[in-house]
Structure 1
Amino acid sequence: MHEQVKDYYGKTLQSSQDLQTNACCTDASLPDYLKPILAKIHDEVMTRYYGCGLIAPDLLSGMRILDLGSGSGRDCYALSALVGESGFVVGVDMTDEQLDIANAHIDYHAEQFGYQAPNVQFFKGYIEKLDELDLADNSFDIIVSNCVINLSPDKEAVLKQAHRLLKPGGEMYFSDVYSSKRVPQELVSDPLLYGECLSGALYWNDFVNLAKTCGFADPRLVEDRPLTIDNPAIEARIGHIEFFSATYRLFKIDDLEPACEDYGQAVIYKGTIPHRPQHFLLDKHHFIETGKVFPVCGNTYRMLNETRFKDHFEFIGSWDTHYGIFEGCGTSLPYDRVLTESSNGGGSCC
């Protein structure tokens, strides 16, 4: 499968216009503060970009970030602007053609962002075999990935390696494609469907359970959209399966519990995270307004108190009394469903 994917992204695709479906999407919903950064990215890097939006969580200044499946380097270069000169971004990709483009423009982007020296480095390697690269345990604040993990034949290895490389309190923040049911093997084996980020998609509940097995006890869904295919031939083959592009965050935090337990705790957001003066979005169910007391479960309390977000919140309560489970901690499909035949919108991972 590796060779098929390398051929597809290194030789078959020459620009995003060569994609056969809209599973990879546009930047139409990008916040305004990111658009000037993307405007500085080299044209060749942009042309060979096949991801889903831009994977850029909040509060990145000074962070050390790893991008899994970095391709032509577009996201790495954008993130290098967000982390600043005191931060650093590492990209890993297995495709020579993509790495050649990424490496050719390192000095260009350092100059564009006004840096004395580049703060980006690219490695050739497989995202399932990060232990073969010169990357130390507990060495990254954040790991990102942009619609790539579905292309991996060993997703468990990817998540285990990510957990190993993250610092305590770090997070994996990534977008990918997920399915409403398990994809049949005959579709998984189709190189076109696989290369288009469809048939390699995990069934969403298999992903949630896999993440927990790999050490990420409480996966948080940040946002999601249903995907439309807009290719009649491909849709005819996979139309019985719904696909979603979704962004998750997985925190590496000890003592996270398997479910949302209530200890009577709450937080108050100070409004101090850059570009987020009015509210902070932790995940799809935690839209936290500035200055308002916001009740949280024990896991959410830890995600804010034991990570880079700590200084931006006031924390209320203790662990002395357990009040039971938070209502609504269920196991139904977490995505917003729109029936394929009635949908006319594109999908986005961010």
Structure 2
Amino acid sequence: MAAPRDAEIHKDVQNYYGNVLKTSADLQTNACVTPATLVPKYIRETLKNVHEDVTSRYYGCGLVVPERLESCQVLDLGCGSGRDCYVLSQLVGEKGHVTGIDMTEVQVEVAKTYLEYHMEKFGFQAPNVTFIRGCIEKLAEAGIRKESYDIVISNCVINLVPDKQQVLHEVYQALKYGGELYFSDVYASLEVPEDIRSHKVLWGECLGGALYWKDLAVIAQKLGFCPPRLVTANIITVHNKELESVIGDCRFVSATFRLFKLPETEPAKRCQVVYKGGITGHEKELIFDANYTFKEGEAVDVDEETAAVLKNSRFHQDFLFTPVDCSEAETKDLIRDPFKLADGSDKVTSRHALDDAGSCCGKKQSCC
């Protein structure tokens, strides 16, 4: 049973997103606004097909459209009015399916209202989207089956839940082995002080419940995920003097991470990989995260952690793998700090040594 404080937060969040916010223009910070410049052309085309009543109630802090979605089973945590679900619906196609779950009744009703409109717009014979009202830290109670999803996405929602570890636990259970949580969220530069945590507007604006960024890796690996892979990061600005005074020295960033749930296998070895190309929207170049960009036909040395992810996920068919001699291989110092990435101060470097930052799923990987 939720603690009284947690129950109060749930109530406040439902009120904020169901009644206080009418459109994204009502937001007090830029935490829940996706920078338009980050949206690739093929996704912009899918966005054009989404009804304006749905997009006007969008409050996401990033872009949560991972690659290779055809025929996938996708779960959207905190789907809101359904914008991301309807974008993903087009990309998974009629053989795939998207499930959206949200605890705010007003938002779910908006999403459901336009289901028929979008299916007709997309030219689909039958709906490939389902909307459920429920809490993201109680996925099993909402009817989400274990190991039933290839991908789980979340767009600026996990920060709204008091118990982040419980959310990630439920996601881990829902994912198939080889599956991925691809999500944008808000992170703090330090442990968030109580005066920020207890501020209703700051919690509704995704700042009050922000996780200290270093804690994400601790929680994720405790549950069995591979170490978080940082994709993008942007500094959050506050355009309200009163809120600025409450925040003080605490800084916030919106960041996108990938978390993979991999099967128990033999330790991966360092590899040289070649991207075959052809993934929709990324035919010639796949920007996998802040550390690795793969160009079609170009050989790239990757560490054990990256090799394990590529070999044991839906991307395995897109790469050629060749083991490398550890004594000759260079290892990157992986970018993990979203604040340094957002500030542009963290550069990727390489060295002739093994990366001690952590191996896949918390287990030391042998390189030879």
Provide TM-score, normalisation by structure 2. Answer: 0.86
Question: Which residue number corresponds to residue 20 of structure 2?
Answer: 12
Tell whether the 8 Å contact from 2:58 to 2:83 is kept in structure 1 after alignment.
Answer: yes
Q: CA deviation at 1:338?
A: 3.7
Question: Which residue number corresponds to residue 279 of structure 1?
Answer: 285
**What code does the residue aligned with 1:121 have?**
T
Tell whether the 8 Å contact from 1:267 to 1:295 is kept in structure 2 after alignment.
Answer: yes
Q: CA deviation at 1:52?
A: 2.3
Question: Which residue number corresponds to residue 293 of structure 1?
Answer: 299
2:330 and 2:207 map into 1 onto residues whose CA distance is 35
Is 2:153 the partner of 1:148? no
Question: Which residue number corresponds to residue 249 of structure 1?
Answer: 258
**What code does the residue aligned with 1:245 have?**
S
2:19 and 2:265 map into 1 onto residues whose CA distance is 44
Unaligned runs of 5+ in 1: 340-350
Q: CA deviation at 1:171?
A: 0.2
2:127 and 2:261 map into 1 onto residues whose CA distance is 28
Equivalent runs, 1:210-229 vs 2, <5 Å: 210-229=219-238
**What code does the residue aligned with 1:336 have?**
L
1:85 and 1:313 map into 2 onto residues whose CA distance is 26
Question: Which residue number corresponds to residue 101 of structure 1?
Answer: 110
Q: Deviations over 1:308-330 (max 9, x none)?
A: 11111100017x97999945258
Question: Which residue number corresponds to residue 316 of structure 1?
Answer: 322
**What code does the residue aligned with 1:143 have?**
V
Q: Deviations over 1:65-121 (max 9, x none)?
A: 000000001110111011000000000000010011011111111000000011000
Tell whether the 8 Å contact from 1:90 to 1:123 is kept in structure 2 after alignment.
Answer: yes
Tell whether the 8 Å contact from 1:61 to 1:84 is kept in structure 2 after alignment.
Answer: yes
| Change in CA separation of 1:42 and 1:264 when aligned onto 2, cut-off 3 Å | closer
Question: Which residue number corresponds to residue 63 of structure 1?
Answer: 72
**What code does the residue aligned with 1:110 have?**
M
Q: Deviations over 1:257-316 (max 9, x none)?
A: 9xxx99442101112212213321221101122212111111211211111111111000
Equivalent runs, 1:179-258 vs 2, <5 Å: 179-255=188-264
2:90 and 2:244 map into 1 onto residues whose CA distance is 39
Tell whether the 8 Å contact from 2:187 to 2:253 is kept in structure 1 after alignment.
Answer: yes
52-61 vs 83-92, which moves further: 52-61
2:224 and 2:23 map into 1 onto residues whose CA distance is 37
Q: CA deviation at 1:255?
A: 4.6
| Change in CA separation of 1:153 and 1:333 when aligned onto 2, cut-off 3 Å | same
Query: What's the C-alpha RMSD, in Å, of the aligned pairs?
Result: 2.3
2:140 and 2:237 map into 1 onto residues whose CA distance is 36
Question: Which residue number corresponds to residue 87 of structure 1?
Answer: 96
| Change in CA separation of 1:324 and 1:262 when aligned onto 2, cut-off 3 Å | farther
Q: Count residues with an aligned counterpart.
A: 335
Unaligned runs of 5+ in 2: 1-8, 345-368
| Change in CA separation of 1:142 and 1:337 when aligned onto 2, cut-off 3 Å | closer
**What code does the residue aligned with 1:335 have?**
K
1:256 and 1:160 map into 2 onto residues whose CA distance is 21
1:331 and 1:120 map into 2 onto residues whose CA distance is 34
SS at match of 1:336: helix
1:137 and 1:26 map into 2 onto residues whose CA distance is 31
Q: CA deviation at 1:146?
A: 0.3
Is 2:275 the partner of 1:269? yes
Q: Greater relative contact order (Cα 8 A, min sep 6): structure 1 or 2?
A: 1
**What code does the residue aligned with 1:229 have?**
V
Provide TM-score, normalisation by structure 1. Answer: 0.90
Equivalent runs, 1:99-178 vs 2, <5 Å: 99-178=108-187
**What code does the residue aligned with 2:299 have?**
V
| Change in CA separation of 1:102 and 1:254 when aligned onto 2, cut-off 3 Å | same
